[in-house]
Amino acid sequence: MQKPKSETRYEQVYKKLRAYILENNLKPGDALPPEQTLCEQYGVSRNILREALKGLTLMGVISGCPGKGNVLQPFSCEDIMSNALFCAARGNKRIIPQLLDVRKKLELSYMREAFQTMTAEDIRNIRAILERIKSQWAAGIYFHADDKDFHMALFSRIDNQALHDLMVCIWSVDESFQVESKMRHMGNTIAKHEAIVRALEDGNQEAFEAAMLSHFSSGKYAVGHQTASFDEPQSP
């Protein structure tokens, strides 16, 4: 049995700083105590404290402000999740396929609710996004942003901000992942998107769910938690 990893000193201070912010109900614009005060309070060196403060800065929790010190930033669930995912992805080849698997499961779990809450105007918008995607593909342009807009539009009526924020974060982390390999799959992606839109335009929920399942059955989404490139054949 593997022993749990022991926390570093700066990780301990990082957690204490988060607890301090919550316990003192600090708001955006409020400043943390001076560094010297925090060093004395936690019994650590300035270097260790600054590592902990850097962690909070990377997460978008605080920002250094001349004359005020370390100031709390406006809370944004999306920003914090995005920063956390970017930090986790650095040097970790497994994390992006795992995140894609999360997104796949989220979309398939919510696709019925998405269909039932979508309006005629939403469907026209989704069709317009797909036509933009087709134009970009014809021009040889990588259409990641419109691909994201297409999928986000499918779920735009679902009243769950955490879902939307998490999906946007995963799209952001995935943007630069295996771009050349993705380009080789984009023609097939467009065909699958077309099947999704036609099902929506026909008001056919069964066809919509089948098209969504087909969309996520191959390419990068078939990799799931594996670390292999999505061009490689899947093991049985």
Query: What SS3 state is found at 64?
Result: strand
**Which pLDDT does position 86 carry in this prediction?**
62
**Which pLDDT does position 153 carry in this prediction?**
98
pLDDT exceeds cutoff 90 at 39: yes
Which of the residue ranges 105-114, 145-154, 188-197, 213-222 would you say has the lowest mean pLDDT?
213-222
pLDDT, greater one: 198 or 184:
198
pLDDT exceeds cutoff 90 at 80: no
Query: What SS3 state is found at 190?
Result: helix
In the chain, domain spans:
9-72, 79-222
**Pair of tokens at residue 208:** 């919509």
H/E run at residue 186: helix 179-202
**Which pLDDT does position 141 carry in this prediction?**
82
**Pair of tokens at residue 75:** 């809370």
Q: Do domains 9-72 and 79-222 have the same CATH topology?
A: no
Mean pLDDT across the chain: 83
Rounded Cα distance between 178 and 68, Å, is 42
Which of 70, 84, 3 shows the shortest CA–CA distance to 38?
70
What is the CB-side half-sphere exposure of residue 195 using CA atoms within 13 A?
16
**Which pLDDT does position 4 carry in this prediction?**
46
Topology (CATH) of 79-222: Four Helix Bundle (Hemerythrin (Met), subunit A) (1.20.120)
> Given this structure, which CATH class describes domain 9-72?
mainly alpha
Which of the residue ranges 35-49, 126-140, 157-171, 222-236 would you say has the lowest mean pLDDT?
222-236
CA 176 centroid distance within chain: 13
Which of 221, 201, 225 shows the shortest CA–CA distance to 213?
221
